[in-house]
Chains A and B, each alone.
Chain A
């Protein structure tokens, strides 16, 4: 394993000499999917709990479809599927966008994680203690103020444990990006495997890198929970 790594470590970690590859691409995809997906998920979660049935039902349908189908299929649909449509290829803008596998992978990941995160946030908003909301109303807050100062800070904190699971899942699921010819960590491992026939070493290195990053993520979220959820910890004194 060490000799394979000492020969290919550059490809695994950041570049094959022509373009960025491996871990850098994986982390780039992961970071932007999570950030964009989470930012979009906040208004979606509010819409999911809206009184307007048309609004809440359509968000429900979106999350239901995207949580009910595998990410791999969504990625294939975005990359192979959409680009096979003539109408997409005939427009300059859409043609340029969907031609690049990276864009398609990012689109699929954002749509997917946004669906899961929306449900997590929406669940937390729904379970906001009634007293907190009543207190805000009694203080004469407008609906926007109520969300901004009371509901969202409380709900986003409480969703931290399940949100951390989702973030780690997104990191793991970036490994399907090879289907859109994105040169991510697993694609590199597959290439090294077919170049050296040392399957155990080639995939073992990818396995170790993924596991290492996962532990870092778990540690980061534990720090975040200690900081923002300390008041919810069981008191033992």
Chain B
């Protein structure tokens, strides 16, 4: 999975001459990548759920809008860790019931899949509110003029509303992303081998807990710093065409 030039990087971390990580460098690196992968997958799922639920709230029938409303209220009312444990165990039990009835072999949910589903569901609720607010921030005339020109609804959404909505939503999306990155830390509670698990294992066998947990903290800080830079770049791109006041 590593590019040619970086091929030796994981091994170099644990080179016998390098005693910084006591042979746990590759494990920490793997854990960090797992954390990043989990965050990206959860973001994608949350994004999709958010768009869907926001459309349901804005354009859906009363029943669908009410359901979406219920979803965002319930999810935002409780801590993510509680929801995570509740869903993790309940989904497994539901799945067991289903496979038993169908007489299939038991399917065990992997911590990674559970983490993606749970984080996606939780942060989907926050994305729903973000997208709803952003849709509402688009001047109404934009929608009306597109419809009066006879554009099909799909085009109105993809060519008129979505690009403008993204401009309004981007700062909040950035915040949500940072929150997702930080809440991936909790998934180690349900057994994912992420960077925290790696740091904990390394700390346990070397008794250098402080150092290894600080390394994990640094990995998170690195992720948030890099994403800050990327977000600033994206914001400049989506802000193309807006008038700025020089102060």
Contacts and interface: CB of A to CB of B under 8 A. Distances in A.
Interface in B89-133: 89-90, 93
A68 B224 contact: yes
B185 A73 contact: yes
Interface SS majority for chain A? helix
Interface in B169-184: 178, 181-184
A210 B182 contact: no
A182 B168 CA distance: 41
Contacts of B89: 193, 199-200, 203
A65 B216 CA distance: 13
B81 A175 contact: yes
A186 B81 contact: yes
Interface residues of B, number: 35
B82 A206 contact: yes
Interface SS majority for chain B? helix
Interface stretch (B13-21, B144-152, B159-167, B202-210): B202-210
Nearest to B209: A84
B214 interface: yes
A189 B221 CA distance: 31
B183 A186 contact: no
Contacts, number: 105
B234 interface: no
A74 B83 CA distance: 21
**Number of chain A interface residues as a range:** 35 or more
B71 to A, nearest CB: 13
A70 interface: yes
A60 B144 CA distance: 45
Nearest to B87: A203
Interface in A157-214: 171-176, 186, 189-190, 193, 199-200, 203-204, 206-207, 210-211, 214
A27 to B, nearest CB: 14
B217 interface: yes
Given A186-B82, A199-B90, A77 B214 contact: yes
A83 B203 CA distance: 12
Interface of A: 65, 68-74, 76-77, 80-85, 171-176, 186, 189-190, 193, 199-200, 203-204, 206-207, 210-211, 214-215
14 contacts: A68-B178, A68-B224, A69-B224, A77-B217, A81-B209, A81-B210, A82-B210, A84-B203, A84-B210, A85-B210, A173-B79, A174-B79, A175-B81, A214-B77
Q: Which 6 A-B pairs have the closest CB atoms?
A: A199-B89, A70-B185, A172-B79, A84-B209, A211-B77, A203-B86
